[in-house]
């Protein structure tokens, strides 16, 4: 079936998770388009596996808001609107503000601690890779590093439930925006690249600056998507 990637070795904990991750990546890459439909049988045949783990993976992706179950027909890639994106941006901004203040007041209070230094250095490296990808206009690479950057940054908060929620929200945000960004032939100069500035603000325990950086990021993202959606 066109639009779904080829087989690959199972390297993660379960086949169910492997299939879910692969299909999520297909959506993020734009190879599975919003509104595109497929069945459990088609996916199972494409990956050469039984229907059970495929069905479980598709149900998982539906619960994450990436797919819609279509009665008697299979599944459809969820179609997000610009208004959906606005809601996502507002939600993730509210979460980020709380995380930044908590990090500045708690986890990052003593930046000389080995854990704090190592953790921030790792997050900053992800940010540097994301910035390079953004500067090059390489959307696929940027998405991968951006998701890792925000997951590792939010993990410093120490709440795994919040980490998972924010990660899911950022995946949904990318799924929503990919359909518009893929229309641009050359994305150089269009993609946000303030990751290391954000880390530096947190390293200096300046949540207000961190929030200002994210606010500028959100404004940039909304303006870009509005412009692309308008044609």
Assign 149 a pLDDT band (cuts: 50, 70, 90): very high
Average pLDDT, the chain: 88
Q: Where are the domains of the chain?
A: 15-77, 82-229
Q: Report the CATH number of the 15-77 domain.
A: 1.10.10.10
Strands 67-70 and 74-77: what pairing?
antiparallel
Can you tell me the distance from the alpha carbon of 86 to that of 91, in angstroms, rounded to the nearest whole number? 9
- Asked whether residue 12 carries a pLDDT value surpassing 50, the answer given is no
Q: Which CATH class is domain 82-229?
A: mainly alpha
- Asked whether residue 38 carries a pLDDT value surpassing 50, the answer given is yes
What secondary structure, in 3-state letters, does 83-119 show?
Answer: HHHHHHHHHHHHHHHHHHHHHHHHHCCCCCCHHHHHH
Can you tell me the distance from the alpha carbon of 178 to that of 23, in angstroms, rounded to the nearest whole number? 15
Q: What is the pLDDT of residue 125?
A: 95
| Sequence-separated (6 or more) residues with CB below 8 Å from residue 6 | 46
The 10s digit of each residue's pLDDT in 152-181 is 999 888 889 999 999 999 999 999 999 899
Strand order in the sheet with 67-70: 37-38, 74-77, 67-70
Closest CA to 32 of 17, 41, 43: 43
Q: Quote the Cα angle for 186-192-197, to 5°.
A: 145
**What's the Rg (C-alpha) of the chain?**
19
Q: Which residue has the higher pLDDT, 110 or 136?
A: 136
- Asked whether residue 8 carries a pLDDT value surpassing 50, the answer given is no
CB 22 within 8 A of CB 8: yes
Host H or E run for residue 67: strand 67-70
The 10s digit of each residue's pLDDT in 78-116 is 999 999 999 999 999 999 888 888 877 765 555 555 456
Residues 65-88, mean pLDDT to the nearest whole number: 94
Q: What is the pLDDT of residue 135?
A: 95
Q: What is the pLDDT of residue 138?
A: 96
Question: What does the longest C-alpha to C-alpha distance in the chain come to?
Answer: 58
Domains 15-77 and 82-229 share a fold: no
Q: What is the pLDDT of residue 82?
A: 95
Can you tell me the distance from the alpha carbon of 210 to that of 201, in angstroms, rounded to the nearest whole number? 5
Q: What is the pLDDT of residue 116?
A: 63
Length of the chain: 231
Q: What is the pLDDT of residue 9?
A: 45
């Amino acid at each position: 079936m066109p639009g779904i990637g080829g087989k690959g070795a199972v390297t993660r904990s379960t086949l169910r998770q492997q299939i879910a991750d692969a299909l999520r990546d297909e959506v993020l890459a734009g190879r599975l388009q919003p509104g595109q439909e497929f069945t459990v049988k088609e996916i199972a045949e494409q990956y050469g596996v039984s229907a059970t783990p495929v069905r479980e993976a598709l149900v998982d992706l539906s619960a994450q808001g990436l797919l819609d179950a279509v009665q008697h027909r299979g599944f459809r890639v969820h179609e997000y609107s610009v208004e959906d994106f606005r809601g996502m941006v507002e939600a993730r901004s509210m979460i980020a503000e709380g995380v930044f203040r908590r990090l500045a007041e708690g986890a990052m209070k003593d930046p000389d601690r080995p854990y704090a230094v190592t953790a921030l250095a790792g997050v900053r490296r992800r940010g540097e890779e994301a910035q390079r990808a953004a500067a090059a206009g390489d959307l696929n690479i940027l998405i991968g590093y951006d998701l890792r950057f925000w997951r590792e940054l939010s993990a410093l908060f120490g709440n795994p439930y919040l980490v998972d929620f924010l990660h899911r929200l950022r995946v949904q945000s990318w799924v929503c925006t990919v359909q518009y960004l893929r229309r641009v032939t050359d994305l150089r100069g269009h993609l946000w690249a303030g990751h290391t500035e954000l880390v530096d603000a947190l390293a200096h325990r300046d949540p207000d600056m961190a929030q200002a950086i994210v606010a500028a990021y959100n404004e940039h993202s909304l303006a870009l998507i509005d412009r692309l959606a308008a044609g």
